[in-house]
Structure 1
Amino acid sequence: MSELRIRAASPADLDSVLAFWRTAAEGASISDDREGVERLVARDPGALLLAEADGELVGTVIAGFDGWRCHLYRLAVRPGHRRRGIGSALLAAAEERFVRLGGRRADAMVLTGNERAHHAWRAAGYAPQEAWRRWVKSLTP
């Protein structure tokens, strides 16, 4: 693999990001559509980080900061490129972003049944916080 480049996504990247998530990301999100990702990039242009090698999209992470908490979503690495440090590089870039913005602690959305992801998150220093449970309510019909 050539040199890894990490950069913020632009509106021109969104179709390729959505296609990438269909093959590289576990589970689907209610916001995995053009409108949802456009809204993210418009509201927080630095939040969606892309990893590229030889001009190919090989990884993503959303590093959202709302001024209070740092949230990580959609950490995904192209299946043929896993275990090469791409996920770690994306998380390092996300954490650097959070520190620059004044963040104090990052949390990650990780699917309960995705054991491979659990290993990756633990290797990066993250751990489940058993005292908390995520509660959700859909705001769309």
Structure 2
Amino acid sequence: MNDLRIRCATLSDIDTVLRFWRDAAEGTSISDDHDGVARLITRDPGALLLAERDGLLTGTVIAGFDGWRCSAYRLAVHPDCRRQGIATALMEAAEQRFITLGGRRVDAMVLEANERAHHTWAAAGYRREDHWRRWIKPLES
């Protein structure tokens, strides 16, 4: 994992990220377009975290914080790079960001049908709240 680099996305990364999500992410969202991602990066330059190895995008997570809630979206790892600790590294970076910003709990949006993702979130210490259909994890400061 020494060759893995986690960094914040810039506006010049948008097209690469959108292509990556088409290959690596399960499903799409109404905001998965150039304008939507540009708004995210412009509004909160630290929110979209990218994992790179040898200059290639291997994973993403959106670590959004609105001043009250910490939200994780778009945790995705390229299919050829899964089970190598990339999702863990991304979420550790996201959680550190949340702690630095004063966050106290993470809500993760996970597609209901994505069973593989459910196992990933559970292994990372998140628990499912069925009445909300979300996964959460308290943060320790």
Name the TM-score, length of structure 2 as normaliser. 0.92
Query: Is 125-134 or 5-14 further displaced after alignment?
Result: 125-134
Q: Which runs of 4+ in 1 moved over 6 A?
A: none
CA distance in 2, matches of 1:47, 1:17: 13
Q: Residue 18 of structure 1 aligns to which amino acid in structure 2?
A: L
1:124-139 → structure 2 map (5 Å cutoff) = 124-133=124-133
CA distance in 2, matches of 1:55, 1:83: 19
Q: Secondary structure at the match of 1:40?
A: helix
1:114-129 → structure 2 map (5 Å cutoff) = 114-129=114-129
RMSD: 1.2
Match of 1:82 in 2: 82
Name the TM-score, length of structure 1 as normaliser. 0.92
Match of 2:66 in 1: 66
Q: How many residue pairs get matched?
A: 134
Match of 2:104 in 1: 104
CA distance in 2, matches of 1:127, 1:28: 24
Among the aligned pairs, what percent are the same residue?
69
CA distance in 2, matches of 1:39, 1:70: 18
Q: Secondary structure at the match of 2:83?
A: coil
Match of 2:28 in 1: 28
Q: Secondary structure at the match of 1:76?
A: strand
| 1:113-135 per-position Cα deviation (integer Å, ceiling 9, x unaligned) | 1011011100101111123258x
1:3 aligns with 2:3: yes
| 1:57-114 per-position Cα deviation (integer Å, ceiling 9, x unaligned) | 0000000000000000000000000000000000000000000000000010001110
Structure 1 portions without partners, runs of 5+: 135-141
Q: Secondary structure at the match of 2:64?
A: strand
The answer to which structure has the higher strand fraction is 2
CA distance in 1, matches of 2:74, 2:112: 14
Residue 2 of structure 1 contacts residue 54 of structure 1 at CA under 8 Å; is this kept in 2?
no
Residue 2 of structure 1 contacts residue 53 of structure 1 at CA under 8 Å; is this kept in 2?
no
Structure 2 portions without partners, runs of 5+: 135-141
